[in-house]
Structure 1
Amino acid sequence: MKEFERKQLLERVNREAATVGADIPDAIDVQGEEIDLRDFVFEIKRRDTIPSGERERVERAKKNLRRERLQRLQRIEDGEISYEKGEELAESIVGIDRALNALEQLRPVDLEQEADVQEAADRKRWMKFLKQALGREDAGGSGRRL
């Protein structure tokens, strides 16, 4: 590969808007393991949040994708491949970036906040029940004193 071709490919993968209109690859070989990347991303993306049981799986996938992206980028930077292979790698890097963007947009479920909201609602219901049971709340909602 010629130097200007290598620079052109590197500029393409590092461009800010490189993922606009890019497709997530159907499958990708990551660390010697074939992953159905598109199915995985769409399965996770179908939910708006990452359930706690899936959080570790998603984080591991993102870590592996970042590592794979870096390895492919280094192969282009080394320039010891053909231009055609470089184009193939650049296209796959953009696809990996697209998948990473989709996974990064997901929000983890904040279990602690969810538990606090639930506890506050439970406490409110309990206090209302106690007031009614002890006769401290009349039909109009104002409490009467004993």
Structure 2
Amino acid sequence: MKDFERKQLLERVEREGAIVGAEIPDRIEVQGEEVDLQSFVFEIKRRDTIPPGERERVDSAKKNLRRERLQRKQLIEDGDVSYEEGERLADAIVGIDRALNALEQLGSANLEQEAQAKEAADKKRWMKFLKKALGHEEADSGTGRASRGL
């Protein structure tokens, strides 16, 4: 492989938008083991949250995918492969990145939902406090206007 071809492939796998439109590979060899990557990712994403028992499995899969991505990228960097093999490696890296992105989004979406729920609860408590402080509580609380006989 020529230097400019290697640089081109490395640039492609590091490009921020590389995963846009990319597909998760059906099957991929990760750390010497064949994995049905697409079905694994879809199985995990189908659930709204990752059950505690599955969290370790997902974290392990992400770690192995990152390691596999690094190994494939190093093969391209070393330049000891043909350009065609480099293209196959780059395609696999982009597919791995797509799978990692999908798995990472699942965790961050849950955190975002939790943050939104917490913010809504905080607003509700704040409004209740303000109503009470300003004397606008319901008549049955004994602190509002209705209890004063107005």
Q: Same fold (TM over 0.5)?
A: yes
The aligned residue for residue 89 of structure 2 is 89
Shift of 1:107: 2.3
**Cα deviations across residues 51-84 of structure 1 (Å, max 9, x unaligned)?**
1111000000000000000000000000010000
Q: Which has the higher contact order (CA 8 A, sep 6+)?
A: 1
The aligned residue for residue 25 of structure 1 is 25
The aligned residue for residue 136 of structure 2 is none
Q: Can you give the 5+ residue segments of structure 2 that lack an aligned partner in the other structure?
A: 115-138, 143-150
Instruction: Tell me how large the CA RMSD over aligned residues is.
Output: 2.0
Paired with 1:36 and 1:82, the residues of 2 have a C-alpha distance of: 27
Is the Cα–Cα contact under 8 Å of residues 48 and 107 in structure 1 kept in the other structure? no
Q: Residues 1-146 of structure 1 correspond to what in structure 2 (within 5 A)?
A: 1-107=1-107
Paired with 1:142 and 1:101, the residues of 2 have a C-alpha distance of: 51
Paired with 2:69 and 2:140, the residues of 1 have a C-alpha distance of: 62
- Normalising by the residue count of structure 2, what TM-score does the alignment of the two structures yield? 0.72
Shift of 1:142: 6.2
Paired with 2:9 and 2:72, the residues of 1 have a C-alpha distance of: 12
**Cα deviations across residues 106-139 of structure 1 (Å, max 9, x unaligned)?**
12878xx8xxxxxxxxxxxxxxxxxxxxxxxxxx
Percent identity between matched residues is: 76
2:73 maps to amino acid: L
The aligned residue for residue 123 of structure 1 is none
Paired with 1:34 and 1:104, the residues of 2 have a C-alpha distance of: 22
Q: Can you give the 5+ residue segments of structure 1 that lack an aligned partner in the other structure?
A: 114-139
Paired with 2:141 and 2:2, the residues of 1 have a C-alpha distance of: 84
